């Protein structure tokens, strides 16, 4: 006998009432009363499908016929009844076959609803996913741990379907998670962050290594070992790292935020933002804490009571602007850098996005209008174009100006220093008719380059204007990158076109024959670095800013990622090692490392455990720091309580000072070996190996 029954009106069914009460978060379990799940049963969870209502007629194209669609002469009043009858007959036939194939199966005739558990689907952006079932009273941290075991990788953070970060200490019920809901996991990934003269590499394990100028954050020895790092943000001369437990660690110049004055209050930190000399942290619940230079936004006490329910923060060079969940805005920092928005406070409502130039802000409201404040010479005054700023979709900022893309693809620009303002506006008017169908804008210090949907490029500003020859070359452009005074465009065939100041990378003729199959371009202040399809890296521009890596070409192979600082480039290789190109004092030097191998037991660097049939891999965190003549190595493994326990510590001392930014290391967990590559510079300014001694 068929279990297919006429659909109840939504308001009369249990599921319908459940949906009315819980909306999109409704869910239900269907099972026979007193029925227990067998031990060998496969439990599946996922989005359900609610069906019902009258059949919908389909046309010849397989699409539903809309009201008023002409019917054929064979379509009659009985057509729907015939379809229903055929469906019922087919369902009964299939159910009969199912009952024969599974004689122990029984139709479900009674239903009950339960809130006794939550089945979450944890997914990666790659599409991989796992299913985890927990009690609502369990914390998000437990969900993270369960997900880590199934993924076999460290989970930095969980993100809800609505884009909000889930607090580790909150229960699943407090986090608003319901049955069959999908949450997204951000796994630990290798990445590199940069200040002006220093780099930080974050390993998937959460450990880090720093190098570069000590005064710019290149030495993190005072806060080592740095482990369980989830994210790093940088000011001009300092770094701040969010750990996986939500706390923050800082190092570098104290005047630039390297010394945190609110350390004890930094708990459950969700986001970090940085101006040139200060940091701002958004905590769980939307409150904000700041530190660093008080004149550049490091002191928010004057607006502390207003900083609640903050969703995101934007920064100019010397001020911050926080958007609240209500769409209102609070600002603080140096008034000349946009820290004072009192003149436009009433207009700062329903704001959806904020962009910042060097000393001003521009806010896009939900109605497509724009509000600006800050230094007029940097775009803080848009009154001359205010009537044109309607239906704004996106804003791009240079150091001294803004350019807005409207919904129709046209462009409006304003700002610029008063010395060059008239010239730039004249250049803009000369190309304004070409600025149609614009999809993206890139900016250098005082010029812009707009990419149209047809792949053509339009430029204006002191170094942005394009000659006829350049316009002919700039076809099918996919991406444009900018240094301080030059542009580099990747075309559809993988070639590169450059223009602007030759000393800042605007002239690539010396390496043009190498720029084929280019996949990515990064820019320092006065140079460019291109990643080719075959894994090589090519640089051009000012050698003191990373523009000449010819001495390192034998090492710049199998490059996976490029990161730029103000003065250098860092290339992450396939084996996890990093090669640095740049820093003025090291430009053009020859290099050949002396390798030193440090052996560690295999079961220390990596060990396997099995509990209740679940195999887990435990990787030790390896931290290597280079300073003056010494190199320190620390290895820590997860203890039984989950905390890192140091198992190995070693210091190697060279015969002379090391060039920190050139030294690298690699961990081979399978062999139980750490490989250190040392560099020093002798009196003739040439690289030679260093013979380390164990202490």
**Strand segments (E) across 85-159:** 118-123, 129-134, 155-159
Residue 175: CB atoms within 10 Å: 23
Task: Write the pLDDT tens digit of every residue in 643-663.
Answer: 556 666 667 666 567 777 778
In the chain, the domains with their CATH numbers are 118-187 (3.10.20.90), 621-690 (no CATH)
Contact 316, 304 (CB under 8 A): no
d(CA 50, CA 91): 17
Q: Which residue, chain included where needed, has tokens 């920190």? A: 660
pLDDT attached to residue 94: 66
pLDDT attached to residue 604: 72
Q: Which residue, chain included where needed, has tokens 């800082």? A: 250
Residue ranges, the chain, pLDDT below 50:
1-8, 10, 27-35, 42-54, 67-78, 102-116, 584-593, 683-695
**In what order do the strands lie in the sheet containing 229-234?**
229-234, 238-243, 248-252
Task: Write the pLDDT tens digit of every residue in 254-295.
Answer: 999 998 888 888 988 988 999 999 999 999 889 999 999 999
pLDDT attached to residue 175: 79
The contacts of residue 35 (CB under 8 Å, 6+ apart) are none
Contact 524, 483 (CB under 8 A): yes
Nearest Cα to 131, choosing from 144, 143, 122? Answer: 122
Q: Give the HSE-up count for residue 241: Cα atoms under 13 Å, Cβ half-sphere.
A: 32
d(CA 119, CA 400): 51
pLDDT attached to residue 617: 72
d(CA 171, CA 410): 48
d(CA 139, CA 246): 15
Nearest Cα to 83, choosing from 53, 52, 55? Answer: 55
In the three-class reduction of DSSP (H, G, I as helix; E, B as strand; rest coil), residue 94 is classed as: helix
pLDDT attached to residue 481: 95
Token digits for 79?
A: 């057509």
Residue 443 forms beta bridges with which residues?
448
Distance set, CA 207 to CA 150, 185, 229 (Å): 22, 19, 6
pLDDT attached to residue 438: 93
Q: Is the bond preceding 225 in cis, omega lying within 30 degrees of 0?
A: yes
pLDDT attached to residue 411: 95
In the three-class reduction of DSSP (H, G, I as helix; E, B as strand; rest coil), residue 403 is classed as: strand
């Amino acid at each position: 006998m068929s279990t297919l029954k006429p659909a109840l009106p939504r308001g009369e069914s249990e599921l319908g009432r459940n949906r009315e009460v819980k909306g999109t978060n409704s869910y239900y379990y269907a099972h026979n009363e007193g029925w227990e799940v067998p031990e060998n049963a496969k439990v599946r969870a996922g989005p359900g499908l609610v069906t019902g209502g009258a059949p919908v007629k389909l046309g010849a194209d397989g699409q539903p016929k809309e009201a008023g669609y002409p019917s054929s002469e064979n379509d009659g009043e009985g057509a729907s009844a015939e379809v229903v009858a055929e469906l019922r007959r087919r369902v009964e036939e299939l159910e009969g076959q199912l009952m024969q194939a599974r004689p122990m199966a029984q139709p479900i005739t009674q239903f009950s609803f339960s809130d006794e558990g939550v089945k979450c689907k944890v997914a990666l952006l790659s599409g991989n996913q796992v299913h985890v079932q927990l009690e609502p009273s369990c914390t998000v941290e437990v969900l993270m741990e369960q997900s880590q075991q199934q993924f076999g990788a460290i989970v930095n953070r969980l993100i809800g379907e609505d884009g909000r970060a889930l607090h580790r200490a909150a229960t699943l019920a407090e986090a608003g998670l319901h049955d069959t809901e999908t949450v997204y996991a951000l796994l630990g990934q290798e990445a590199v962050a940069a200040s002006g003269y220093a780099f930080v590499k974050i390993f998937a394990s959460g450990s880090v290594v720093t190098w570069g100028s000590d005064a710019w954050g290149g030495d993190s020895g005072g806060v080592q070992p740095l482990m369980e790092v989830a994210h790093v943000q940088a000011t001009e001369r300092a770094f701040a790292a969010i750990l996986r437990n939500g706390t923050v660690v800082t190092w570098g110049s104290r005047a630039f935020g390297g010394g945190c004055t609110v350390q004890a209050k930094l708990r459950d930190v969700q986001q970090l933002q940085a101006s040139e000399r200060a940091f701002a942290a958004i905590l769980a619940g939307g409150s904000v804490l700041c530190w660093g230079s008080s004149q550049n936004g490091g002191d928010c006490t004057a607006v502390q009571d207003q900083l609640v329910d903050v969703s995101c923060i934007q920064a100019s060079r010397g001020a911050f602007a926080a958007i609240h969940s209500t769409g209102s805005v609070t600002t603080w920092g140096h008034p000349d850098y946009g820290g004072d928005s009192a003149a436009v406070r009433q207009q700062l409502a329903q704001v959806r996005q904020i962009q910042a130039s060097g000393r001003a802000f521009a806010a896009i409201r939900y109605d497509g209008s724009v509000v600006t404040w800050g230094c007029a010479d940097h775009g803080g005054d848009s009154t001359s174009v205010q009537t044109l700023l309607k239906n704004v979709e996106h804003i791009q900022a240079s150091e001294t100006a803004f350019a807005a893309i409207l919904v129709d693809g046209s462009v409006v620009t304003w700002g610029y220093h008063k010395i060059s303002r008239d010239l730039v506006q004249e250049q803009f008017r000369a190309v304004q008719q070409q600025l149609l169908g614009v999809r993206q804008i890139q900016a250098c210090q005082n010029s812009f380059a707009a990419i149209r949907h047809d792949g053509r490029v339009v430029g204006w500003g002191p170094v942005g204007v394009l000659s006829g020859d350049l316009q002919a070359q700039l076809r099918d452009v996919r991406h444009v990158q900018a240094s301080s005074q030059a542009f580099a465009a990747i075309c559809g065939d993988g070639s590169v076109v450059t223009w602007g100041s030759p000393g800042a990378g605007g002239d690539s003729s010396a390496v043009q024959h190498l720029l084929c199959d280019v996949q990515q371009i990064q820019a320092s202040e006065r140079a460019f670095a291109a990643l080719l399809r075959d894994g090589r890296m090519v640089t051009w521009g000012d050698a003191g800013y990373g523009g000449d890596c010819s001495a390192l070409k034998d090492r710049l192979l199998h490059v996976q990622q490029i990161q730029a600082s103000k003065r250098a480039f860092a290339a992450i290789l396939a084996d996890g090692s990093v090669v640095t190109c740049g820093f003025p004092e090291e430009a053009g030097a020859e290099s050949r490392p002396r390798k030193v191998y440090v052996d560690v037991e295999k079961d220390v660097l990596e060990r396997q455990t099995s509990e209740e049939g679940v195999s887990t891999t435990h990787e030790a965190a390896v931290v290597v720091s280079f300073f003056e003549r010494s190199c320190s190595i620390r290895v820590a493994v997860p203890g039984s309580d989950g905390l890192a326990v140091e198992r190995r510590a070693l210091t190697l001392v060279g015969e002379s000072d090391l060039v920190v930014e050139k030294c690298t290391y690699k961990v081979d967990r399978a062999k139980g070996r750490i490989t250190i590559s040392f560099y020093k510079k002798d009196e003739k300014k040439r690289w030679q190996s260093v013979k380390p001694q164990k202490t």
